[in-house]
Structure 1
Amino acid sequence: MNDYVYLAYDYPVLGAFWTAVWIFLWVLWVLLLFRVIADIFRDDTLGGWAKAGWLVFVIGLPFLGVFIYVIARGKNMGRREREHAQAQQRAVDDYIRETVGSSEYTSDVDALAKLSEIRAKGGITEDEFRRAKEKILH
């Protein structure tokens, strides 16, 4: 009988480790690539042709394009991300103020009841409810 038992000898632990490292690095690379593409679209200082040029460069030569983009324009990527997050926060805050303040309710208790009703219907998240409640109570 020629029965061989293959255990971990065909794929040693170090091989599994390096496979996990390469998968991790590949996922990081994909995240960086999509973050750069999102930053290209988000940047208001770039014109249409500049955006198209960067996209062709980043998609056509991904490694070189992303590295050059990060070197050339990476300094302001965080600022643009922060401005985008702040704009979204202002929009949520304005929506909450508009929703709570545009009704006939005038007292804090009525405003809290209305806000709780909006949260129960799924119009706002728990965190948004908490922030709006703090604004009403202070």
Structure 2
Amino acid sequence: MNFFENFWDVLWWLFVFYAIVAFLYAVFMVIGDLFRDNELSGWWKAVWIVLLVFIPFLTVLAYMIARGKGMAERSMARARKSQQETDAYIRSVATESPTEEIAKAKALMDAGTISAEEFAQIKSKIVV
């Protein structure tokens, strides 16, 4: 065998591998979307799953054509909700600004809760 025969065999193998991975990704996207869709009844979900088992390629193609827009909308809504939850969590655990922390330490020192040395320590840690 020469180099070019091996090259085309390898290229064909890579193409087939890519096609299988892409198809499996599409199948799992459809299955995930089916279970996330609250508007679709359980019977229709079961029909789609049965069709996916028996005629997978045509079912994935039909699902993408028939329900692709809704699939994209549900995906965007899920991403927005996830982003909002992440932002809310970050806001809840974020530290205060250095100015606010120094003001609180100053109020504690004025109240006599901490000494001037402790206030200086807190201030030096915050300013660094």
Aligned equivalent of 1:109? 98
- Residue 59, structure 1, aligned to residue 48, structure 2: no
Residue 22 of structure 1 aligns to a residue whose secondary structure is helix
RMSD: 2.5
Q: For 1:27 and 1:79, locate their aligned partners in 2 and report how far apart those are by CA, in whole Å.
A: 24
Consecutive unaligned residues in structure 1, runs of 5 or more? 1-6, 113-138
> Could you tell me how far apart the structure 2 residues matched to 1:75 and 1:111 are?
48
The match for 1:40 is 34
Name 1:86's counterpart in structure 2.
80
Post-superposition shift, 1:65?
1.1
1:6-62, CA deviations, whole angstroms, 9 ceiling, x for partnerless residues? x547x5211111111111111111111111111111112112222122112122321
Aligned partners of 1:111 and 1:17: how far apart in 2?
A: 62
Structure-2 change in CA distance of 1:72 and 1:109 (3 Å): same
Identity of aligned residues (%): 34
Q: Say how many residue pairs are matched.
A: 101
Q: Distance in 1 between matches of 2:42 and 2:100?
A: 46
**Pick from 24, 29, 34: which aligns with 1:30?**
24
Helix, strand or coil at the partner of 1:32: helix
* Structure 2 unmatched runs, 5+: 102-128
TM-score, with structure 1 as normaliser: 0.63
CA distance in 2, matches of 1:91, 1:80: 16
Larger Rg belongs to? 2
Residue 90 of structure 2 corresponds to which residue in structure 1? Answer: 96
Cα gap change, 1:35/1:111 in structure 2, threshold over 3 Å: closer, same or farther?
farther
